[in-house]
């Protein structure tokens, strides 16, 4: 089943364009969400609108930039290790994972996605680390809990085989 896709491949300097996410001034962009409510918060002299969604994934989608490393319609969020509070408690310890941190410090982002068949309630979450497919990296990725790899759609000219090492994770606590 492989990992998700859309256009674009990040370099070490930056990422893809953002869809959704927070616009200037810390005000969430408007969405077509049916469920949710707006709550006004007093922030100094400014009045800030925050949008809350019943679905946790929708909430995250409006808080984080969307990236498009593959060629399909699935949405990937660009996150950092400090955002791991969104994961279930058993995955929060991954913030100290050496392989994950190496990928993050080289590319300055990680990807987080919801994949699967939502209509049939067969949804899973994946955490992806950018990197290259080399046998030495494959060994390290697997050893540190990222056994799967999928190529990004766009490849660097000088060195192909760029993509994401990924693992299944959960946003729910299982303990």
Q: Is the dihedral of CA 134, 105, 166, 151 positive or negative?
A: negative
Please, what is the end-to-end C-alpha distance for the chain in angstroms? 28
Q: What's the mean per-residue pLDDT of the chain?
A: 74
Tell me if 81 sits within 8 A of 104, measured CB to CB: yes
Whole-number Å distance between alpha carbons of 30 and 17 = 17
pLDDT 10s digits, 74-94 = 789 999 999 988 888 888 889
SS3 99: helix
Whole-number Å distance between alpha carbons of 154 and 9 = 6
As a whole-number percent, the residues of the chain with pLDDT over 70 amount to 69
Whether the pLDDT of residue 62 is over 50: the answer is: yes
DSSP state at residue 78: E
Q: Model pTM?
A: 0.68
**Residue ranges with strand state E in 35-170:** 37-43, 46-52, 66-67, 76-79, 110-117, 122-132, 148-151, 162-169
pLDDT 10s digits, 16-32 = 333 333 333 332 333 33
Whole-number Å distance between alpha carbons of 126 and 147 = 12
């Amino acid at each position: 089943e492989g990992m998700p896709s859309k256009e674009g491949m990040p370099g070490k300097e930056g990422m893809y364009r953002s869809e959704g996410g927070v616009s200037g001034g810390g005000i969430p962009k408007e969405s077509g969400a049916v469920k949710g409510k707006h709550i006004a918060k007093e922030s100094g002299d400014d009045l800030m609108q925050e949008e809350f969604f019943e679905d946790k994934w929708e909430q995250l989608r409006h808080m984080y930039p969307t990236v498009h490393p593959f060629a399909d319609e699935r949405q990937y969020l660009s996150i950092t290790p400090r955002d791991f509070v969104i994961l279930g408690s058993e995955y929060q310890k991954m913030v100290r994972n050496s392989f994950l941190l190496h990928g993050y410090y080289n590319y300055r982002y990680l990807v987080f996605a919801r994949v699967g068949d939502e209509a049939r309630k067969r949804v899973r979450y994946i955490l992806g680390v950018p990197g290259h497919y080399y046998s030495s990296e494959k060994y390290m990725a697997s050893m540190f809990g990222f056994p799967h790899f999928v190529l990004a759609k766009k490849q660097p000219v000088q060195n192909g085989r760029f993509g994401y090492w990924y693992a299944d994770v959960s946003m729910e606590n299982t303990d």
